[in-house]
Amino acid sequence: MSDPQTTGERSTYTWSAGRYPSLAPNLLPAIARLVSACGVDPGNRVLDVGCGTGNAALTARRAGADVTGVDVTRPMLELARDSTELAGYDDVNWVAGDAEALPFPDDAFDVVLSSFGHVFSPAAVEAGREMVRVAQPGGRVAFTSWSPDGLVGALTEVLDDYVTHEDHDPWAHLRWGETDFVRDRLGDDCELSFERRIARFRYVSPEHFWRDFAVEAGPLSPALRALDDEASRAALRQDALATLDEWFADNTVRVEYLLVRGVVDGEN
C-alpha cells in the first residue's frame, strides 16, 4: 500500500491496515450497551457513523430498526455487507462517506450512534456536530470513546516516547473520553449523560494483545512500521508490555471507555 498523502487518506490507511477486524468481536458487549442506551425501537431510523465491520448497525437492525451505516473505508463496508448478509438481512443501507460531512439531510434519523468511530475522524469536532445535525429534534445521539485515563491513554504515553507525530495529534480521539470536552462541543445542542465502562479484551497474554493491537492490526501498526531502528522497536514493545501487564488479569485486558448519550434539543 502506498503512503497516503491527505489527512483523510491517513485515517483510512490506519483503520484499514492489517487485521483490525480481528479486534472487533471484543467490542460486541460495548456495542450492545451503546445500542441499548440509545433506546432503539422497531422502526427507528438509525445511522451508524464510522460503521466499520457493521456490528453496531447489525445490532440495531436486530432490534427492528431501519439502519444505515456510513464509513470512509470501503473495505470495511464490504466486510459489513458480508456480515449482515450472513445474519440474513439484505435491507441495511451501506454508504461510503466522511463523518465530518455526512451525506444526509438535516433531521433524517431518530438515532445516530458511533462505536469508537467518529472520534477518530481527522475533523472529529465537525463529525460530532454532523451527528447532531442529522438527528431529529428529540432524537438520540450516542457514542463510545476510549478514556485518556485508561489503558489506551497509557499506551499512547508509551508511544509518545518513541514516535513523533508530525501529521496528527495522537491524543485527539482520547479527548472525547473526557466529559468536560464533550460538554463543550455538544452540550449546547444536547442534554448529555455519561457512563464509565470497561471493555474486556480476551487474550491469553499481554503479548497476544500487543500482536493484534499493534503488530498486525490497524490502530498502532503504521506507527510501529515508521520506526526504522530495531532496538527502538524492541524497547517500545517491552515498555508497552509492561504497561499492558498492569491492566491484565484472568486472561483479560481491561480497557476503560466513556459511553455518551445525548438527547437533541428541539432546535439543533
What's the rounded Cα separation, in Å, for the pair 247 and 253?
6
Asked whether residue 226 is domain-assigned, the answer is no
**The total number of residues written for the chain in this structure:** 268
Looking at residue 214, the DSSP 8-state letter turns out to be I
Q: Residue for cell digits 499481554?
A: 206
Asked whether residue 189 is domain-assigned, the answer is yes
Give the pairing of strands 45-49 and 109-115: parallel
Mean pLDDT over all residues of the chain?
A: 87
Burial (CB count <10 Å: 0-12, 13-18, 19+), residue 5: exposed
CB contact at 8 A, 185 and 128? yes
Asked whether residue 62 is domain-assigned, the answer is yes
What pLDDT is stored for residue 4 in this prediction? 34
What pLDDT is stored for residue 7 in this prediction? 40
Asked whether residue 236 is domain-assigned, the answer is no
Tally of domains in the chain: 1
What pLDDT is stored for residue 246 in this prediction? 96
What pLDDT is stored for residue 45 in this prediction? 98
Domain interval for residue 190: 7-146+168-200+256-264
Q: What does the pLDDT look like over 137-175, one tens digit per residue?
A: 999 999 999 999 999 999 989 888 887 766 678 889 999
Asked whether residue 250 is domain-assigned, the answer is no
Asked whether residue 179 is domain-assigned, the answer is yes
Q: Write out the H or E segment, with its range, that includes residue 127.
A: helix 124-133
Grid cell in block for residue 21: 477486524
Q: CATH number of the domain at 179, please.
A: 3.40.50.150
Average pLDDT over residues 227-231: 80
Asked whether residue 152 is domain-assigned, the answer is no
Asked whether residue 177 is domain-assigned, the answer is yes
Q: What does the pLDDT look like over 71-120, one tens digit per residue?
A: 998 888 999 999 999 999 999 999 999 999 999 999 999 999 999 999 98
Measured between its terminal Cα atoms, the distance across the chain in Å is: 41
Q: What predicted TM-score, i.e. pTM, was given to this entire model?
A: 0.89
